[in-house]
Amino acid sequence: MNLKELEIQKKEEEFSLKLLEKEESLKKEVQLYKEIAVHSQEEGLVAFDKDNNLIFANNLARNNIKDYSIVLDAVVNRSDRLIMEDYEANVSLKQYQDFNIVSLKKTSIHDNKDGGLLQRHSANVTKALDNTQQTYLSLLEELKGMATESNETAEGSTEGLNLTKEIVADSDLLHEELEVENQVVDSLVEKSKDIAQVINIIQEIAFQTNILSLNAAVEAATAGEAGKGFAVVAQEVRNLATRSADAAKQIKDVVTSIQAETQRIETSSKKVSGVVNETKQRIAVLSKLMTTFQKNANRSVYEVESISNKIFINLAKLDHVIYKNNLYQLIFGNDNNFKAVDHHNCRLGKWYDTGLGKEEFSFVPSYKGLEKYHHTVHHQANLLAKECSGHSVSCSKQLIEDKIQLVEDASEYVFIYLDKILEEKNETVMKEAAQKLFN
């Protein structure tokens, strides 16, 4: 074999070797694509070589990924989750020889297949909210009964206090009359003493008159016949003195009896006066107790009203939270009771427009400010429900976050205004209570 033939043979061998290498390379590439195809037929697929150069991206990946460096970072950091501009994806990484094959699957906010933890949590939250709502409603009914009883107690205590005041007034009048009676009795005692002194004077005069008549009789007897006329006069004077003495004695007996009776009346009157004074003091204590009881009863009315107001407001807040929870359950694809209604036809709206809210709170300044933000909550919530609910609807994470942010911002102001309404109502209640209890 000459030199030329050897050269040709060598070239053929080199060509064959290159052909084999190319064939092997093609086989590897085919196997690579087979691995890619087997790895996923639905997800976005991206492949990098050992130098982190992009060597493959399927149509789904090319249509959704603008910056592959984010995917490469996930590969380098072995992340199982990827956040793009407008969606999130689960990352599945497989290595084949020196290639990194990345499967990207969009995550749906409705996807709860992995254990259903979110769904169970949401169900528990919903149940807890419903239970709390029922508790508030039960408390509200009980407070209504307490408020009725407190009002009846307050009215009864007021009536009792008025009766006590009437008794106090009557006892004061009786005490005054007894004081007058005591003064009259004291005056009678003094008058009877004066009469007794006058009787003593009359008795002395009768005694002296009797002595004079005796002396006159003696002188008449001494004068004989000439003194007979004077003797008759002396006898009449003696008779008059005797009758005067008898009359004075009778008057003295009567006055003594009057003095005894007057003394008994005075003693009895003093006892009655003492009893009246003691009764008056007890009634005064009772009156103070009744006043305190009435104030406490009235205060309990206002306290019950204040507690009722707090429950009213918190029940309104709870209704609002339940509405939002139902919205989020709808967006998450869970069982829900969400109904797309405007801000007039939800529980809070009815409470505000025609229910207890209007009845109890419509006169406070902040009441009107609530409607604007409540309207925003429902408007944005209904838009979110329309655009992003249901498994067949795919909303970007950013869109959902933006809508929820609008709902939550308005909802925060709903709570702020509900708190203002409660504060202003309680201020009114406290002013009314202070005026009634302390004036």
| 275, pLDDT greater than 50 | yes
Q: Quick one: pLDDT at residue 124? A: 54
Check whether 375 has a pLDDT greater than 90.
Answer: yes
pLDDT digits (tens, 9 = 90+) for 65-104: 888 888 999 888 888 888 776 667 888 888 888 889 888 8
Residue 53 confidence (pLDDT) above 50: yes
pLDDT of residue 357: 83
Amino acid at 50: K
Phi, psi torsion values for 9, nearest 5 degrees? -60, -40
What is the torsional sign of CA 52, 54, 60, 64? positive
d(CA 4, CA 402): 79
pLDDT confidence of residue 364:
92
Q: What 8-state DSSP symbol labels residue 80? A: S
Place 37 in a pLDDT band, splitting at 50, 70 and 90: low
Topology at the third CATH level for domain 154-291 = Helix Hairpins (1.10.287)
What is the pLDDT at residue 118? 47
pLDDT tens for residues 93-126? 888 888 898 888 876 555 544 444 445 545 656 6
What whole-number distance in Å separates Cα of residue 286 and Cα of residue 313?
A: 40
pLDDT value for 201: 83
Greater pLDDT, 98 or 150? 98
81-83 and 44-48 beta bridge pairing = unpaired
pLDDT at 35: 62
Higher-confidence residue: 113 or 386?
386
Those residues with Cβ within 8 angstroms of residue 110's Cβ, 6 or more apart along the chain or in another chain: 331, 332, 333, 390, 391
Show Cβ contacts of residue 302 under 8 Å, excluding neighbours closer than 6 positions.
429, 430, 432, 433
**pLDDT reading at 41 higher than 60:** no
Question: Phi and psi (nearest 5°) for 55?
Answer: -120, -10
- The torsion angles phi and psi of 96, rounded to 5 degrees, stand at -130, 115
| Identity of the amino acid at 138 | S
Lowest mean pLDDT among 127-131, 285-289, 382-386, 407-411: 127-131
pLDDT-based confidence at residue 372 (cuts at 50, 70, 90) = very high
The percent of residues in the chain predicted with pLDDT above 90, rounded, is 8
Q: Determine the pLDDT at residue 112.
A: 47
CATH architecture of 43-107: 3-Layer(aba) Sandwich (3.40)
**Mind listing the pLDDT tens digit for each residue in 158-196?**
777 777 778 778 777 877 777 777 787 778 778 778 887
Domain range list for the chain = 43-107, 154-291, 339-438
Tokens 């009057």, residue located: 258
382-387-390-395 Cα dihedral, nearest 10 degrees: -130
Q: Lowest mean pLDDT: which of 34-43, 44-53, 245-254, 392-401?
A: 34-43
Strands across the sheet containing 54-57: 54-57, 44-48, 99-106, 88-96, 81-83
Residue 294 contacts residue 158 (beta carbons within 8 Å): yes
pLDDT recorded at residue 108: 57
Record the tokens describing residue 259, joined without a space.
């003095």
Distance set, CA 6 to CA 12, 15, 35 (Å): 10, 14, 43
Strand partners, 105: 90
At residue 2 the predicted structure's pLDDT band, cuts being 50, 70 and 90, is low
User: Tell me, what's the pLDDT at 316?
Assistant: 81
Residue 85 main-chain phi, psi, to 5 deg = -65, -45
The mean per-residue pLDDT over the stretch 278-293 comes to: 79
What rounded mean pLDDT belongs to the chain? Answer: 78
Mean pLDDT of 391-402: 69
Looking at per-residue confidence, does 390 or 422 come out higher? 422
At residue 392, the pLDDT reads 47
More reliable by pLDDT, 157 or 288: 288
Retrieve residue 124's tokens: 């528990």
What is the full DSSP assignment across 175-213? HHHHHHHHHHHHHHHHHHHHHHHHHHHHHHHHHHHHHHH
* Least confidently predicted of 35-39, 75-79, 206-210, 413-417: 35-39
User: 140: helix, coil or strand?
Assistant: helix
User: Which pLDDT band holds residue 413 (cuts at 50, 70, 90)?
Assistant: very high
Q: Quick: pLDDT tens for 199-248.
A: 788 778 878 877 877 777 777 778 777 667 777 777 777 787 788 778 77
Under 8 Å CB-to-CB from 355, ≥6 apart: which residues? none
Q: What angle do CA 364, 365, 367 make, to 5 degrees?
A: 70
pLDDT confidence of 328, banded at 50, 70, 90? Answer: confident
Bigger pLDDT: 36 or 182? 182
The answer to whether the 43-107 and 154-291 domains have the same CATH topology is no
